[in-house]
Amino acid sequence: GAGVSQTPSNKVTEKGKYVELRCDPISGHTALYWYRQSLGQGPEFLIYFQGTGAADDSGLPNDRFFAVRPEGSVSTLKIQRTERGDSAVYLCASSSEPGVSYEQYFGPGTRLTVT
Amino acid sequence: AQSVTQLDSQVPVFEEAPVELRCNYSSSVSVYLFWYVQYPNQGLQLLLKYLSGSTLVKGINGFEAEFNKSQTSFHLRKPSVHISDTAEYFCAVSDGNYGQNFVFGPGTRLSVLP
């Protein structure tokens, strides 16, 4: 079956602009995660959805970052007033119900470059 | 808060040699442990995981890892590496809850030399 997909694969934007990054999880996976991976680092947790609700958004760095998952499937990560420090690869992952499997399936990521 | 240490940022090794990538974690409570691999320009792929049971876990591509609770370690090993194993390897730990409690280490870049 299809894996996790993310669009766009690359996004270049100017400082101060607004961007949206999309994640399409594996069908039937109720849990969805966003991570940010800076160069030479491991993925850093941003937000976790269980269904439509954000179960844990403690990793969002500030109020310029926001994510939604209105129908419990596709999710959009939104970044307002982008800064050069936001440049990174943004990873999305999905998994099935907690307690069934703890494996997270990752998408290929969106490389965001803020100029 | 949990943390994961991968002491070796880079590990060069010759083809067909054995390799060990080290991972230590901070939590003293029950944990679940994972190794992920990231090939160039690709997403992370699960190599293996420890949830419970036998402390020696076998994964894909001939990799295995051993959970050592007393040393809070989960080192990854392969007896004979191939050029195709060149990639970034990430250790991760979870306390069984999702979200912020799923923590990745900084990664180890394995370079297999001919």
- The three state secondary structure string of B5-55 is ECCCCEEEEECCCCEEECCEECCCCCCEEEEEEECCCCCEEEEEEECCCCC
**Under an 8 A CB cutoff, do A40 and B49 touch?**
no
Take residue A35 and report the two structure tokens written for it.
């991570």
> In terms of DSSP bridges, do strands B10-14 and B108-113 run parallel, antiparallel, or are they unpaired?
parallel
Position B52 scores a pLDDT of: 85
Run of H or E including A86: none
User: What are the pLDDT tens digits along chain B (114 aa)?
Assistant: 778 999 999 999 999 999 999 999 986 677 889 999 999 878 899 999 998 889 999 999 999 999 999 999 999 999 999 999 999 999 999 876 666 678 899 999 999 999
Higher pLDDT, B102 or A60: A60
CA of A108 vs chain B CAs: smallest distance (Å)? 4
Out of A4, A45, A102, the one facing B99 most closely (by C-beta) is A45
- Residues of chain A above pLDDT 90, percent: 77
pLDDT digits (tens, 9 = 90+) for A9-54: 999 999 999 999 999 999 999 999 999 999 888 999 999 998 999 9
